[in-house]
A and B are shown apart, each in its own frame.
Chain A
Amino acid sequence: MKVKSLKWIVFALFAMLIVACEKNAVVNTAQVTVVLHADGIQEVTEIELKAHDINMNKDYSNSALMITVPVGYYDLSVHALGDGQAIRAYKRGIKVEHDCTIEMEASFVSGDAGFVLAEIFFAGTETPEGKRYIGDKYFVLFNNAADTLSADGLILIEADLNSVQKYDLGDHDFRDRYFAIDAMYRIPGDGNTYRVAPGQMILIADNAMDHTAANANSFDLSTADFEWYDVSSSAGATDVDNPDVTNLDKLYCYTQTIWVPHNQGHKSFGLARFPEGLTAEQYFATDSLYVKYDYEVVTSAGTFSQSRKSYMIPNEWIVDMVNMAPSETFQWLTSSDKLDAGYAYVAPTGSDVTRFGKAVRRKTKVTLNGVRTLQDTNNSSDDFEMGVPANPFYFKN
């Protein structure tokens, strides 16, 4: 009994101390005014201004372009309707010391709104014997629009730049205009072949087959909608082609063997569409989309200048972008932050062995009449659940 009462006394003292502290603490606040630049937009309505305190991990929001927050470091985001269409603006790492005005540029959210990447499984699985298995990677695409859409011509793309190795691109920084790719696989069809109803998913697998025979920890992907098939130059490393499942058109890949999406999650993935009428031949013949750029790699041993050439996808062609980077080793966004202001991950580091069997999955915003609408604020840090057990059919109705 005595002990218990002592506990209470200590607790009370602490509580008093805390209250006293609270009372004494003077929190300086500042007012942040946002000036939104939105080319060609007449009217901006339904404003939601969000300020994320980076150090305290606290969010503040307001429905006007003005917000009062404690001094600190903030990520600012604006979501609004510009002439009735969703627009957004984003700015990272702003130091708020006193009242200030921040200029932000707004852009339309997802020009080709509708399809999103709903689940990405890039890490592969581990066999019961503890060996790596990489043949079961998959992507889940999801129709997030209110209408039935055609998936024909959607292109699955992987970043050429690595999220954990920052390049100092200097004046060559193209990210506001282009996304550099190292793989590009397209859903075939004449424009009306593969139609997807709202709330329906498409499963794209590396190998559309039952993997559980080879690895009990894997899945049966034999019912996948598409697979990517790589004709290998050597019979020693062959890809498996399921004749019952449609292959994606292989437009481009950095390797001449089998494309294995980056298994440590260092590379962003996206969906894109060529503009109406542009053929692959024309794309590959376009000089302005095969870009040489110089950059500097900063390492502990100094700075190394490099040159690189990448095929580029203009940002306007991008339907959805999900930046990927392990949470602790993230260095930079390899796409424009207007496409994706954050990044998704399954593990703190790329080589983390707990990453096997884990995926990133888009959060469900609302389910109405059994039809999901997924969260798509173009900020993967917010939009995704990180490191969930992979389930290729999670979004299956």
Chain B
Amino acid sequence: MAGQTTLSRRAVLGATAGAGLATLLSGCGGSPGPRSSALQVWGGVPGASGPDELVAGFEEQHPGEKVAYTRFVNDDRGNLKLDTALQGGVDIDVYFTYNSTAMALRAGSGVALDLTDRVRADPALAPYLDTQAPRATVVDGQMVALATAREPYFVLVNEALREQAGVDLPRAWDVDDFHEMARALTRPGVHGAYSVPDTARVSLGANYWYAPDGGSNFGDPAFLEWLQLGRTMIDEGSAYPWTEVLARQLAAYQQNPFLQGEFALWPTAPFNLRYLNEPEDYPHDFRVAAAPVPRTARGDWNAGQFNNFIMINPRSTKLDLAWEFVRYWVTDGARAMLGGGKIPALDVLPDEEVLAGVLKEDPERFFDVDSFRHAMFTSEPKLMTDTNLTAVPEISLAVEQQRDLCWIGERTPAEAVSTIDELADAAIRRNQRKA
């Protein structure tokens, strides 16, 4: 009994002290904290994959200035963190937006500074004024975000499997050739391809979800063809079974089955190259080549985009310094980001340097370098930027859900595409009603 009371008394005492301390200290906390002297930059790329080096370069060029890079995880909740912070007046000067979902919200909401005049005043940034293949996000005539990177898609090829099958590495091809090659590469234990490229994107280019009148465009046969091709290839075994993709969550870890030779063709983008030249962590015994994205009868868009948009918070108290930093990132600083697989949005570096930077050390050991030169540069991939962002999150979800159901064989491509069409139409109408 005595022991018990001492224990509880001690616990009670400790707790009281804690509570008292808490009330005491909570009174002293200042609102968001004093504005720090450093420029506050929030981005999704891990500091070690380039930003740290870039920041060091900027500080060297601008003696006396400090930059603090905060990394947020580029997922739903990470973006929510950034958005609440932006809204709450947290000290953020420069930040990044990586997907159209987040861009749709931020671009028109007063959390993005209009950069038009600053861009106009700087001849080096002239490409951002291009409206043919825009590299900037323009909302109501205001340029609010600049792409820092371009992400040309390509099809990676397991060279060992290709040579065994005795097929040539394509330099220009269409979707039928892709299908045929996948079939040729398929044998017991190996699926020809991971999946099909977004052929609707290849056919239709930017804003492919929206009809000219602004409504849903999923009535376009391009979408049905895409789902149908995927389904056909999965059924015949020339594409990876989608049930396994779901059951093993491969969407996030496609590199593992590729490195283990479970499929031979991998439609993807440069950010996945980093798994291919790290023999310690990702051992494999074949070289990788790249082929351009196959074209369709209706178009030859690359399906890749200008991406990694940099934006300035209009509430920043250091607008000029923030602009200096943005300018540095898209020009002189771009070199630092190569190692993270970021190809600069502007042509500020020679292609050869970009190629060497992205493929890193000892490239010939892991890659057919010439095929990458072709796929990423000389074939001149046609990139784009979406300008219509209506209901993007809702439509993305509908597309993903119906694609999954179709490719695991529970719904026909026609059923899936008509459901997407309905959902997209409803979401677009709801968003227009609000606006």
Bound together: no
A residues engaging B (CB < 8 A)?
none
